[in-house]
Amino acid sequence: MNELLNRRTLLGGAAGGLSLALGGMAPEAMAATAMPWIRRVVHFYTGPDGQSRGEEIPFAAPKPGDTDRLLRRKAERVTLSNMAPNFRYPFHNANYPTLLIPIFGTIVVILADGKEFSVGHGEMIYAEDCTGKGHISGAGPEGCFSVQVQLVKSRCPDQGSTDFKTFWIDPD
């Protein structure tokens, strides 16, 4: 019991120091300091020739007064992945539309045409290249720990892309 109490006291003291240190900041500055916003989404989809395509989608940080932007979707599976430095999976498809979110390190995706994308903390991948040749994926030179959320398979188009105008507002 005393050990648990000591841990709570220590954590409470640390949180108090943090609140004092940030206490003079405006709320939006404090939020920006505490929260790394998603800066970009890299999207992969299958083109009409069966080859995977990649595009970068800028993702604006919320402004003061913005409402929450929530992505609520049914998920088939959530996986935590720990990849060794420079590890590579050979060509494969997404199989399911998948959100990949690197927590530490970078995820590297290489397309058949040689185009390479590196995605790190504060960025996200939406892979929906469920058909065709697919892509190579793996970890950057420092390795990678990531969260992968596989959405329901019916959301994956045979070719082409999700309409990103409705991506954040189109519920399952």
Res 22 pLDDT > 60: no
Res 167 pLDDT > 90: no
- At residue 66, the pLDDT reads 65
pLDDT per residue as tens digits for the range 112-154 = 999 999 999 989 999 999 998 999 999 999 999 999 999 988 8
- At residue 7, the pLDDT reads 38
pTM, two decimals, is 0.72
Domain ranges in the chain are 2-32, 36-155
- At residue 78, the pLDDT reads 95
- At residue 33, the pLDDT reads 45
- At residue 38, the pLDDT reads 73
156: CB partners within 8 A, 6+ apart: 94, 96, 97, 128, 130
Res 32 pLDDT > 70: no
Determine the topology of domain 36-155 in CATH: Jelly Rolls (2.60.120)
Q: Are 84 and 140 in contact (CB under 8 A)?
A: no
Q: How confident is the model at residue 34 (pLDDT cuts 50, 70, 90)?
A: very low
Sign of CA dihedral 111, 101, 56, 96: positive
